[in-house]
């Protein structure tokens, strides 16, 4: 009999009210979670985000995963996107963000690794406090950092869609990674900018903390972003940690 998993997750996505296509993609499998926000005409953004997610999905169930393995796989995703673009001229220039969370082994113990390139985000909720773990690679984030505009102004800024790093470029910019010690009862949120350009962090924190199942929380976040305007595709992965992460990782690697 299978025991109750320590990590439970749900995904939700919506095309929004403005876009014709949903170019976001998501993965939630065991202890590996990814959100990707594709960019490019002729449905190429959809291809780029799907390649990114499918390439990362190859790591699902691999024992003893290390942060370096995640970076290697992101680099592999970049090569695959470039190869696909070279083969299909209509996909030239396609690109995608990639934000992820995975259980990794560091120093003999299980930890969380967060990895990011682009302006999708990873948030963590511990004891009711929400923090953005990832750092946005975007022009508006640079402007916020130097104090030229506020967070709220960034959500409406004409340059809000311009990322400074992404997958799909010959010279891959560094992929940021963070290693976090697991914390009992913590929750994580991975999301595309279609969520964060519509909702303030305070509202995200309030919904993420709801005493509901992950699917209800995921659906609520997406519905709120669509209600708030739905200017872009909205995608979320919600992760609740209810017990020992190592138990789930071991469960995956058992024969
Ligand atoms: Mg987007």
CA of 161 to the centre of ligand 1 (A): 7
The answer to whether 31 and 245 are in contact (CB under 8 A) is yes
Query: pLDDT tens digit string along 157-168?
Result: 999 889 999 999
The answer to whether 99 and 178 are in contact (CB under 8 A) is no
Other Cβ atoms less than 10 A from the Cβ of 249: the count is 22
Query: pLDDT tens digit string along 102-140?
Result: 999 999 899 999 999 999 999 999 999 999 999 999 999
> Could you tell me the pLDDT band of residue 251, with boundaries at 50, 70 and 90?
low
Q: What is the pLDDT of residue 113?
A: 97
CA of 123 to the centre of ligand 1 (A): 16
The overall average pLDDT reported for the chain is 93
CA of 106 to the centre of ligand 1 (A): 32
The first and second tokens of residue 250, run together, are 């071991």
> Could you tell me the pLDDT band of residue 250, with boundaries at 50, 70 and 90?
low
Query: pLDDT tens digit string along 196-215?
Result: 999 999 999 999 999 999 99
Nearest residue to 191 (alpha-carbon basis) of 125, 99, 107, 128: 99
* Contacts of 219 by beta carbon, 8 Å cutoff, 6+ apart: 10, 12
CA of 150 to the centre of ligand 1 (A): 20
CA of 57 to the centre of ligand 1 (A): 21
> Could you tell me the pLDDT band of residue 255, with boundaries at 50, 70 and 90?
very low
CA of 194 to the centre of ligand 1 (A): 5
Query: pLDDT tens digit string along 21-42?
Result: 999 999 999 999 999 999 987 7
Q: What is the pLDDT of residue 84?
A: 96
> Could you tell me the pLDDT band of residue 67, with boundaries at 50, 70 and 90?
very high
CA of 177 to the centre of ligand 1 (A): 21
Q: What is the pLDDT of residue 3?
A: 54
Helices and strands of the chain, counted as H and E runs? 8, 11
Place of tokens 């014709």: 20
Nearest residue to 38 (alpha-carbon basis) of 21, 14, 55, 62: 21
> Could you tell me the pLDDT band of residue 95, with boundaries at 50, 70 and 90?
very high
CA of 237 to the centre of ligand 1 (A): 15
CA of 140 to the centre of ligand 1 (A): 14
Query: What is the radius of gyration, based on Cα positions, of the chain?
Result: 17
CA of 3 to the centre of ligand 1 (A): 37
Q: What is the pLDDT of residue 172?
A: 85
> Could you tell me the pLDDT band of residue 243, with boundaries at 50, 70 and 90?
confident
d(CA 221, CA 55): 27
* Contacts of 252 by beta carbon, 8 Å cutoff, 6+ apart: 30, 31, 60, 61, 63
Q: What is the pLDDT of residue 253?
A: 44
Q: What is the pLDDT of residue 38?
A: 97
d(CA 237, CA 197): 16
d(CA 197, CA 236): 13
d(CA 159, CA 243): 41
CA of 207 to the centre of ligand 1 (A): 20
CA of 187 to the centre of ligand 1 (A): 23
Sign of the Cα pseudo-torsion (186, 132, 23, 49, in order) = negative
CA of 167 to the centre of ligand 1 (A): 14
pTM: 0.93
CA of 253 to the centre of ligand 1 (A): 35
């Amino acid at each position: 009999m299978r025991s109750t998993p320590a990590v439970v997750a749900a995904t939700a996505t919506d095309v929004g009210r403005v876009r014709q296509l949903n170019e976001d993609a998501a993965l939630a499998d065991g202890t590996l979670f990814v959100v990707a926000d594709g960019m490019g005409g002729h449905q190429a953004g959809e291809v780029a985000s799907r390649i990114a997610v499918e390439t990362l999905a190859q790591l699902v169930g691999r024992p003893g995963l290390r942060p370096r393995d995640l970076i290697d796989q992101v680099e592999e995703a970049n090569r695959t996107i470039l190869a696909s673009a070279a083969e299909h001229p209509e996909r030239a220039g396609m690109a995608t963000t990639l934000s992820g969370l995975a259980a990794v082994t560091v120093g003999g113990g299980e930890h969380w690794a967060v990895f990011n390139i682009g302006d999708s985000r990873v948030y963590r909720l511990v004891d009711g406090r929400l923090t953005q773990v990832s750092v946005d690679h975007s022009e508006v984030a640079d402007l916020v950092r130097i104090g030229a505009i506020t967070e709220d102004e960034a959500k409406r800024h004409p340059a809000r869609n311009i990322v400074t790093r992404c997958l799909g470029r010959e010279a891959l910019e560094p992929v940021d990674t963070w290693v976090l010690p697991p914390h009992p009862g913590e929750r994580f949120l991975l999301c595309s900018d279609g969520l964060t350009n519509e909702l303030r962090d305070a509202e995200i924190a309030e919904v993420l903390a709801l005493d509901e199942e992950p699917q209800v929380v995921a659906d609520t976040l997406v519905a709120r972003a669509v209600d708030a305007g739905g200017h872009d595709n909205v995608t979320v992965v919600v992760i609740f940690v209810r017990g020992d992460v190592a138990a789930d990782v071991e469960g995956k690697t058992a024969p």
